[in-house]
Amino acid sequence: MREYRPPSEPFLTVVYVDDALLVLDKPSGLLTVPGRDPAHNDSLASRAQQRYPDALIVHRLDMDTSGLVVMARGKEMHRQLSILFQNRQVEKSYLARVWGEPDGEAGEVDLPLICDWPNRPKQMVDFAVGKPSLTQWQKLSSDGNSCLLELTPVTGRSHQLRVHMQALGHPILGDPFYAHPAALAAAPRLLLHAAMLSFTHPASGERMLFESAPDALFGKER
């Protein structure tokens, strides 16, 4: 188990707020919700609730993943936003810098996933009992050693993007669970960032679009 050392700055980055919801930009290294260990109490949710006591988590990002997270304000908004996520009515895309360069300009990974129980929280491909999992990818740029991809998870399995990129033969740089030693050493953190979220506001009916730029470690798109 790695020592939990969440970043203290910025304490909380609010991208958008109204009476119904919050959109936050989570840094890498911060849990989305508190862990069971008291040493893991600090999280995006607990920080948000200090300022917005009615804030409730709707979905999560891995601790090592940075980027956009939506929180509901109050139980009714939590119910409505949860339905949007469950019904895949939320558009999401991620940026990832991966080892090497996939063939072609775009493609998809369609491999069923299930928890690797002896090694949890790791996940693994399992064609017998795994849950259907689909990821679409598009190449944005390459520096010859690594490639910047836009990833779109059609399904929302735990660690889906990380396992699918490993299975493709191009693990995400800095991934402590799935990268081989060279890919792990190639970045000081997991280079996976939730860059875009779009959904219909459950209260106003307005189409919302939120974007977040990754840090300089990801490099340029073109």
Closest CA to 98 of 29, 5, 24, 180: 180
Residue 4 forms part of a structural domain: no
pLDDT one-digit tens code per residue, 163-195: 999 999 999 999 999 999 999 999 999 999 999
150 pairs with which residues across the strands? 95, 138
Residue 156 forms part of a structural domain: yes
Least confident span in 34-43, 95-104, 122-131, 210-219: 34-43
pLDDT one-digit tens code per residue, 51-89: 999 999 999 999 999 999 999 999 999 999 999 999 999
Domain housing 44: 14-218
Among this protein's residues, is 62 annotated catalytic? yes
> In 10 A of CB 130, how many CB atoms?
16
Residue 35 forms part of a structural domain: yes
Residue 7 forms part of a structural domain: no
pLDDT of residue 38: 87
Residue 1 forms part of a structural domain: no
Residue 222 has pLDDT above 70, yes or no: no
pLDDT of residue 221: 67
Residue 208 forms part of a structural domain: yes
Q: Token match 């399995």: residue?
A: 157
Q: Which two tokens stand for residue 79?
A: 């119910």
Q: What CATH number is given to the structural domain containing 88?
A: 3.30.2350.10
- pLDDT band (50, 70, 90) for residue 214: very high
pLDDT of residue 39: 84
Counted domains in the chain: 1
> Which residue among the candidates 25, 62, 64, 175 is catalytic per the annotation?
62
pLDDT one-digit tens code per residue, 105-159: 999 999 999 999 999 899 999 999 999 999 999 999 999 899 999 999 999 999 9
Residue 2 forms part of a structural domain: no
Note the pTM of the prediction, 2 decimals: 0.95
Residue 123 forms part of a structural domain: yes
